[in-house]
Amino acid sequence: MRVSAGPLQTPEIAYDIAAATAHHDCPDIPFQSRENYLKILDNPPPAVTFERHLGYLDGEPVGLLVLEFPQLDNLDVVWAELLVLPGHRRQGVGRALLDVAAERAAAHNRKHIQASTVDRHPDGRAFAEAAGAKPGLAEIRSRLDVTALDPTLLAGLRAEAEKHAAGYTLRSWLGVPPDDLIDGVAYLEGRLNADAPSGDLTLEPEKMDAARIRDGELARQKRGRLSYQTGALLGDRLAAWTWINVDLGHPSHAWQSTTIVDPGHRGHRLGLLVKLENLDFVHGHRPALEAIDTFNAAENTYMLKVNRAMGFRAVDDWIEWQKDL
């Protein structure tokens, strides 16, 4: 078998490889719709550039490498997605694509390649270890079964949280944050890499501002995604914020993204409160919703405790790897 690698010519092939691999490695997560996946080519998130390469076995495309180069921060890092079709593994395609990743990283002056694996199958971890990568951060994917929500439990949690959050008000919105809140959202999102555990990964806070938040949201909408967001305010200042995002092609599924409380406002159960409010908000708009998935660092005991109280349950373990070049 002859192994080779080259630039991606036909985006459709990338989708086929990514979808087949995801179906094998994480069958319970509905994979992005084709439309959603392909639209990222013309509507990428702001402040990053992408490169895509294919891996071939005897001329047949069986592997995909997506490289994401941050442009405003984390300039030493490249984020990689490296996938080989299940039926064509252990024949050197992964290694060939890793060589491409290392070459392209060097061309962009990057010193670290970061990528994630799920522990459900041994392949990802075994490959990362063989490649000389180091585990940087252990993560847990948890799922909330929205069809089995317990309204009494949630109402009890909410009443308890509200006792600690006197004076704060809640606001929810769809998509781009309102003008009076967007700077607050940028400030909180920008804190995330500093505030959430990042283990041994080389990771610096992202340089966020209102324009980057707005452009990110508008690009997401053009890809067929939408976000549901809730903030807690003290006066006119945003003290906590959370968001859930959905692929409009998948009415039954959603992703819980960032939840963050400004350090000066911690201890008021605002993390729980904004999440409960946002759950109601998204559920009200998307009655067919069945499951919400979320990732947390395994050492993020506070967030895991909040999620567990709401009904999220751990599904699988993930590792964020880092290969230093």
Residue of 7, 87, 122, 167 that binds ligand COA (CB under 6 A): 122
How far is residue 44 from each of residues 18, 31, 186, 266, measured CA to CA in Å? Answer: 17, 18, 18, 34
Q: Is 120 in the site for ligand COA (CB under 6 A)?
A: no
Span near ligand COA by CB under 6 A; candidates 80-88, 103-111, 163-171, 257-265: 80-88
Q: Is 95 in the site for ligand COA (CB under 6 A)?
A: yes
Binding mask 127-166 for ligand COA (x = CB under 6 A): xx-x------------------------------------
Q: Is 190 in the site for ligand COA (CB under 6 A)?
A: no
* Count of chain residues binding ligand COA (CB under 6 A): 22
Q: Which is nearer to ligand COA, 43 or 198 (CB)?
A: 198
How far is residue 117 from each of residues 5, 26, 120, 121, 324, measured CA to CA in Å? Answer: 22, 11, 9, 9, 17
Q: Which is nearer to ligand COA, 206 or 320 (CB)?
A: 320
Cα–Cα distance, 314 to 325 (Å, whole number): 33
Cα–Cα distance, 116 to 114 (Å, whole number): 7
Cα–Cα distance, 290 to 238 (Å, whole number): 30
Residue of 18, 19, 91, 299 that binds ligand COA (CB under 6 A): 91
Residue of 14, 67, 82, 186 that binds ligand COA (CB under 6 A): 82
Burial bucket for residue 278 (CB in 10 Å: 0-12, 13-18, 19+): buried
Q: Which is nearer to ligand COA, 127 or 243 (CB)?
A: 127
Cα–Cα distance, 32 to 51 (Å, whole number): 19
Q: Which is nearer to ligand COA, 99 or 145 (CB)?
A: 99
| Residues linked to residue 229 through DSSP beta bridges, in sequence order | 173, 243
DSSP string for residues in 290-306: -EEEEEEETT-HHHHHH
Handedness of CA 86, 90, 96, 102 (dihedral sign): positive
Residue of 5, 14, 105, 115 that binds ligand COA (CB under 6 A): 115
Span near ligand COA by CB under 6 A; candidates 6-14, 35-43, 79-87, 151-159: 79-87
Span near ligand COA by CB under 6 A; candidates 123-131, 143-151, 222-230, 260-268: 123-131
How many Cβ atoms are within 10 Å of 158's Cβ, its own excluded?
Answer: 16
Q: Is 242 in the site for ligand COA (CB under 6 A)?
A: no
- 319 with 133: CB under 8 angstroms? no
Q: What is the CA radius of gyration of the chain?
A: 20
Residue of 14, 67, 77, 93 that binds ligand COA (CB under 6 A): 93
- 248 with 174: CB under 8 angstroms? no
Least distance to ligand COA from the beta carbon of 134, Å? 12
Q: Is 317 in the site for ligand COA (CB under 6 A)?
A: no
Judged by the rule CB under 6 A, the positions of this chain that interact with ligand COA are 21, 25, 82-84, 89-95, 115, 117, 122-124, 126-128, 130, 321
